[in-house]
Amino acid sequence: MADVSEANERRLDVSGEAGNGSSAVWAIVAAAGSGERLGIDRPKAFAALGGRPLLAESLDRLDRCELVDAIVVAAPPGWEEPCILLAEELAASKVVACVTGGATRAESVAAALAEVPEEALVVLVHDAARPLVDDALVERLLGPLAEGFDGAVPVLPVADTLKRIRDGAVVETVAREGLAAAQTPQAFLAPALRRGFSQELADATDCASLVERAGGTVAVVEGDPRLLKITTTADLALVESLLQAT
């Protein structure tokens, strides 16, 4: 059973400032992927969505979110300047840095995390590839952190039957019970995220897996089916239609 006194000791107020005048909640936007499967002449973060770069949607939404104090963007190598210009065009004044992303998502997040000051309380890590982030989800994610969890991730139930396959054949049907699909943003107490990132980063497809591996506790909150991850042109078209419907 969880030690209640320890949980209470770790209870924190994640709203507002860190207590020393600095920002409490930082958001990292991982935008350094190449997006090869979109087949365009620029990185995925600059694919057109609703007449502006894909990255604009999540930057705009996180900048307007009252629960977020500051934002760091991990930009595709060579695209740091366009990222800064985009933030300026959007008047996204919470964007404090654009760093050069790495070869993997985890390396990009690590580069951005290095820009987050020691005093930060909470770090949200979000994929630019999931443009339709909203305030309600950010609020849901901060709840478990105030209750003593090291992290929180949004999840959706898995609807399809899952098969483990090898060489074009099914080797196992995986029981769906207890499985869920994880989305971003994912929220963490800053020290727990740093502990996660002090380990080997290879094979980490999300930040929560690193925090879990370092012994951190990660809660789940209800995800959002609109928070689709854009991988193909069909995904772009679908998110575009969701945008127009709002």
Q: Which of 117, 99, 118 is nearest to 109 (CA)?
A: 99
Q: 101 vs 154, which CB is nearer to ligand C5P?
A: 101
Instruction: Please give the span between the terminal C-alpha atoms of the chain, in angstroms, as a whole number.
Output: 44
- Closest CB 129 distance from ligand C5P, rounded Å: 4
- Closest CB 31 distance from ligand C5P, rounded Å: 5
Q: What is the token pair recorded at 85?
A: 């210009």
Adjacent-strand bridge partners of 17? 23
- Closest CB 53 distance from ligand C5P, rounded Å: 12
Cα–Cα distances in Å, from 203 out to 54, 105, 191, 231?
26, 10, 21, 19
Q: 79 vs 149, which CB is nearer to ligand C5P?
A: 79
- Closest CB 242 distance from ligand C5P, rounded Å: 17
- Cα atoms in the 13 Å half-sphere on the side-chain side of 64: 11
- Closest CB 100 distance from ligand C5P, rounded Å: 10
Q: 127 vs 150, which CB is nearer to ligand C5P?
A: 127
Any idea how long the chain is? 246
Q: What is the token pair recorded at 241?
A: 């239609």
**Residue 5, class by beta-carbon neighbours within 10 Å (0-12 exposed, 13-18 middle, 19+ buried)?**
exposed
Q: 44 vs 194, which CB is nearer to ligand C5P?
A: 44
Nearest position to ligand C5P, beta carbon = 33
Q: 101 vs 151, which CB is nearer to ligand C5P?
A: 101
- Closest CB 186 distance from ligand C5P, rounded Å: 12
Question: Which residues 6+ apart lie within 8 Å of 67 measured at CB?
Answer: 14, 15, 25, 135, 138, 139, 142
Q: 32 vs 59, which CB is nearer to ligand C5P?
A: 32
Q: 101 vs 148, which CB is nearer to ligand C5P?
A: 101
Binding interface with ligand C5P (CB under 6 A): 30-33, 44-45, 74, 101-105, 108, 127-129, 229, 231
